[in-house]
Amino acid sequence: MRLILVLFFSSIFLSSFGQEDYSVDDKKAIKYYEVALQSYNMKSLDAALDKLNSAIEREPDFIEAFLLSFEIYIEKGEYGAAEKSLLKALTIDADFFPNGHFFFAELKYKNGDYKTAKVAYEKFLTFRRTNPNMQDEATRKLTNCDFALSAMEDPVPFEPVNLGEGVNSEHSEYFASLTTDDKNIYFTRRLPTNIKNGEQEDFYRSSFNGDWQKAEEVFGINTPLNEGAPFISPDGSLFFFVACADNTGEYGPDRNGYGSCDIFYSTRIGETWSKPNNIGSSINTVHWETQPSFSSDGRTLYFIRGLKLRDGTISKEDIWMSTLDDFGAWSKAVKVSDVINTPQKESSVLIHPDSQTLYFTSNGHPGMGGEDIFLSRKQKDGTWGTPVNLGYPINTYRNENSITVSANGRLAYFASNREGGYGGLDLYSFELAEGYRPMKVSYMEGKVIDKDNGRPLGAHFELIDLETEEVVVESFSNGKDGTFLVSIPEGRDYALNVEHRGYLFYSENFSLAESSSNEPYKKRIELSPIKKGESVVLRNVFYATNSFELNPKSRAELNTLISFLNKNYRLKVEISGHTDNVGSALANKTLSDNRASAVRDYLIKEGIPKERLISKGYGAEKPIAENDTEEGRAQNRRTEFKVLSVE
């Protein structure tokens, strides 16, 4: 209990009294007290209590004896008895020891008795000559008392459901992480070891098939040492976790660290995981790094860093972040934001697959006491908004640990040792109230193959916001089987580009600005090897109606084409324009010519040599769908590029 950290004030107070200063006159009672004080200083706590009881029997209003009893009971962890002793001292004389009101408020606050705590904090603040740090703490916790009392009058829906015996066991399960499709949950399980009183933390995975299936150990990552705080990337391709050095400085077989606890990662290879690697010195330090959370755009890692003090304790925990550049290097980590981080403690963090909502745990923002769960939403200017407490009874006077939120935002997962579980900490889910949900996120799953021979390909994905040209998701398909899983935040229009060296890139358009579908998108993507005559439909090149003026939303796709042409600098290509059959043949031919020329001009302006490009309009001559439906006509209105030569 943090209360112990401030009790040295009362120790100074108690030891500073001379006999003439005591609140009572009975010499025998005073003698009992002084012997008790000597025993206390020698850490003979029970002997000290025995003498204090004798002193109080002779002098029932012996304030100093009650105050020393209070401090001894605190050190023994007997908080109920401590509260009774302190309350008795304050009842005898409320002004005798002003700090006592602060300590009494702390006891009540930490047990969720906010009304009583508030009165005691307010009483303490009426005294002028008290410690400034304690005054600041009392003021901060008064704010929390007001918040808690208000929150308890307006509780949020909260009906936790145990995940069942497939996940939970007689041991403790905690720190859950989900894949975007919500079909796999990874978590930490604490198991007994052969070492006396020893425990071992390992990772397990359970898959969902109507209910959660029997969890299996995650092979390739678990070692005889402890691993914790797992995070599976939204696409399921990367596994981040934390390993801490043992008392010999070891992190596990073939693992090296920088000191204390470090973040490691492993890459999926088919159904197994690669040998874990330390994420590096841009993120890991001699201090304490934990709770990794990786954004769905494949660019930003959020984590907790705390300073490791000489005595081994951890202090000043804050949320930090590092970004991954195009060459696979991590930037030097920086603190996220002073809007989120506080002078107190931030102990867990989760970036949702929407890349806009950050869930975290803190005891530095107005809350219920202890550590509460909050969310912050990214603003249009890229900054983080004011944190919002998830409310009561999700948050209580106890410490609430980290939560995981499903991609669709409907369910949240957390660990609890509440009654009715299987033993220790169990994992539970609950439906998250609407106001605390992230942006809606759908997902796309499928496979990337070679168009000619069906061979699986490990291809690179980019999902680009057409409005902002921001890369929202970046990922790779599995190199062994070609499968992929990509999260797609709803409410926007996207360009999806898939590429692999030696192949033409694949272009797709996703219009999710008004989507509310809970169904995933399923795609079989066939990449064509680069060869003469092969073509690609540029599905994200747009024009004003009946015009050849390029819509600004076309830039993302055209820049992808520029990148492709720069990587394949020997190619010569034809840019072709096509229309539906509505209108005259001449008008359609002219429009398609002008549109193809507009694309060619853009490419030349951006540095592609004009000798590598020709443009041609075909009007309605080369349809790829029937023109008797609007859907067919929309497919026929298109821009393509075709490989003319590869030398």
pLDDT at 2 over 50: no
pLDDT at 5 over 80: no
Q: Give the confidence band of 513 by pLDDT, cuts at 50, 70, 90.
A: low
Are β-strands 357-362 and 372-377 bridged in parallel, bridged antiparallel, or unpaired? Answer: antiparallel
* CA angle 479–483–488, rounded 5-degree value: 120
Measured between alpha carbons, how far is 545 from 563 in angstroms, rounded to an integer? 28
Mean pLDDT of 520-543: 93
What are the backbone dihedrals phi and psi of residue 19, each rounded to the nearest 5 degrees, phi first? -60, -35
pLDDT in tens, 292-308: 999 988 899 999 999 87
pLDDT at 32 over 60: yes
CB atoms within 10 A of CB 213: 15
CB 449 within 8 A of CB 428: no
pLDDT at 92 over 90: yes
pLDDT at 505 over 50: yes
Mean pLDDT of 532-556: 93
pLDDT in tens, 112-152: 999 999 999 999 999 998 999 999 999 999 999 999 999 99
pLDDT at 430 over 80: yes
pLDDT in tens, 380-426: 899 999 999 999 999 999 888 779 999 989 999 999 888 889 998 99
CB atoms within 10 A of CB 109: 26
Going along the chain from its start, the domains and CATH numbers come out as 3-153 (1.25.40.10), 163-436 (2.120.10.30), 440-529 (2.60.40.1120), 531-647 (3.30.1330.60)
Measured between alpha carbons, how far is 390 from 553 in angstroms, rounded to an integer? 37
Mean pLDDT of 249-266: 88
pLDDT at 4 over 80: no
Mean pLDDT is lowest, of 73-87, 187-201, 317-331, 372-386, for 187-201
CB atoms within 10 A of CB 585: 12
164: left (phi over 0), alpha (psi -120 to 50) or beta: left
pLDDT score of 41? 93
Of 638 and 515, more confident: 638
Please name the residues in contact with 643: beta carbons below 8 A apart, sequence gap of 6 or more: 504, 530, 531, 532, 533, 534, 535, 571, 572, 573
pLDDT at 519 over 80: no
Please name the residues in contact with 182: beta carbons below 8 A apart, sequence gap of 6 or more: 208, 406, 407, 408, 411
Helix, strand, coil abundance in the chain, percent, nearest 5:
25, 30, 45
pLDDT score of 115? 98
Mean pLDDT of 61-68: 97
CA-derived radius of gyration, the chain: 32
Are β-strands 411-416 and 277-278 bridged in parallel, bridged antiparallel, or unpaired? Answer: unpaired
Helix (H, G, I), strand (E, B) or coil at 25: coil
CB 368 within 8 A of CB 392: yes
E strand residue ranges, 567-637: 572-578, 613-617
Strand partners for 326: none
pLDDT score of 12? 44
Burial of 521 from C-beta contacts in 10 A (0-12 / 13-18 / 19+): middle
Strand partners for 297: none
pLDDT score of 485? 86
The sign one gets for the Cα dihedral 169, 175, 176, 177 is: negative
Measured between alpha carbons, how far is 414 from 431 in angstroms, rounded to an integer? 12
pLDDT score of 198? 61
pLDDT score of 284? 96
- Per-chain mean pLDDT for the chain: 91
pLDDT score of 517? 56
Report which secondary-structure segment, H or E, holds 317: strand 314-323
- List, as one string, the DSSP characters of 521-572: EEEEEEEPBS-TT-EEE-TT--B-TTS-PBPGGGHHHHHHHHHHHHHTTT-E
Mean pLDDT of 263-292: 93
Closest alpha carbon to 445 in 558, 524, 533? 524
Which residue shows structure tokens 């009304």? 115
pLDDT in tens, 446-493: 899 999 999 999 999 888 888 888 888 888 898 889 998 888 888 888
Measured between alpha carbons, how far is 275 from 100 in angstroms, rounded to an integer? 56
Mean pLDDT is lowest, of 11-20, 60-69, 301-310, 557-566, for 11-20
Q: What pTM was estimated for this model as a whole? A: 0.84
Closest alpha carbon to 402 in 264, 538, 277, 229? 229
What's the token pair of residue 215? 């969890």
Of 61 and 297, more confident: 61
pLDDT score of 369? 86
Are β-strands 572-578 and 638-645 bridged in parallel, bridged antiparallel, or unpaired? Answer: antiparallel
Whether the link from the prior residue into 276 is cis, omega within 30° of 0, is no
What are the backbone dihedrals phi and psi of residue 501, each rounded to the nearest 5 degrees, phi first? -55, 130
Provide the percentage of residues in the chain whose pLDDT is more than 70: 95
Of 134 and 518, more confident: 134
Report which secondary-structure segment, H or E, holds 201: strand 199-207
pLDDT in tens, 318-370: 999 999 988 889 999 999 999 999 999 999 999 999 989 999 999 999 999 88
Provide the percentage of residues in the chain whose pLDDT is more than 90: 72
Measured between alpha carbons, how far is 613 from 597 in angstroms, rounded to an integer? 10
